Amino acid sequence: MNENYLIPDGVGRAEIVRKRSRFIAEAVSISSSEDARTKIKNKREEHPQCNHVVYAFISGDPQTEAGGMSDDGEPSGTAGKPVMDVVKGSGIFNVLVTVVRYFGGTKLGTGGLVSAYSESAKRAIDELPVVKFVPLTPFSIKVPYNLYEKVALIITGAGGKIEKKNFTDIIAITGTVPESNLKSCNAELKNISEGNIFIQ
């Protein structure tokens, strides 16, 4: 899998006005196509008086990407495609961009619409915090009390996260560790535990 791609790490928002029409753009993270459609529905409910909710999204990764877009009543090719072009050009995956339009009474023409939707989407993408995608391996291991601090240091030192701890006669921990650091992490865990602790 190509791991060199970006994903959202927050929300990007922007608003422009063209001939009294307001274009309110938002770029957000999505987990799937279904999640995107839910967020689009929520956006319509958030702006019940608007004229259009145009959108474009890409979910998955460079090998499995799925996407969708809609002009939502604007002339064909003047809204959804310009927004999708911005999304694809950004190199960001698992992202949804919506552009809400409140009509200002003056028609913009096809060129004006393409320009307005492109610019508002680009501004939202420019405001969107992003991070590089890092594939993670989930784990669940049991650790004796005398080794817990050493195990925790090894996992966090490898860029991993301990998400849950359950203290009984032994400490059961669950979390994630970056796939790229799994081999070195396991080598250290086995070393301090005589081969008894490792992440499968």
- Using DSSP's 3-state secondary structure scheme, residue 142 falls into strand
Query: What's the whole-number average pLDDT of the chain?
Result: 93
The pLDDT assigned to 3 comes to: 59
Q: Which residue has the higher pLDDT, 95 or 193?
A: 95
- Using DSSP's 3-state secondary structure scheme, residue 85 falls into helix
For residue 9, the 8-state DSSP code is: S
* Residues 124-153, mean pLDDT to the nearest whole number: 92
Q: Which residue has the higher pLDDT, 51 or 4?
A: 51
User: For residues 141 and 112, what is the distance between their CA atoms, to the nearest angstrom?
Assistant: 58
- Per-residue pLDDT reduced to its tens digit, 37-84: 999 999 999 999 999 999 999 998 888 889 999 999 999 999 999 999
> 6-132 belongs to which homologous superfamily?
Impact, N-terminal domain (3.30.230.30)
* CATH 3.30.230.30 residue ranges for the chain: 6-132
User: For residues 115 and 156, what is the distance between their CA atoms, to the nearest angstrom?
Assistant: 47
Task: Count CA within 13 A, CB hemisphere, residue 18.
Answer: 16
- Bridge partners for 126 per DSSP: none
* CATH 3.30.70.240 residue ranges for the chain: 136-192
Sheet of strand 21-29: strand arrangement: 12-18, 21-29, 95-102, 52-59, 66-70
- Per-residue pLDDT reduced to its tens digit, 96-113: 999 999 999 999 999 999
- Bridge partners for 98 per DSSP: 26, 55
Sheet of strand 171-178: strand arrangement: 136-143, 171-178, 161-167
CATH topology of domain 136-192: Alpha-Beta Plaits (3.30.70)
The pLDDT assigned to 1 comes to: 44
User: For residues 95 and 33, what is the distance between their CA atoms, to the nearest angstrom?
Assistant: 10
Using DSSP, how many helices (H) and how many strands (E) does the chain show? Answer: 5, 10
Cβ count near 55 (within 10 Å): 29
Phi and psi at residue 185, in whole multiples of 5°?
Answer: -65, -45
The pLDDT assigned to 108 comes to: 95
The pLDDT assigned to 195 comes to: 86
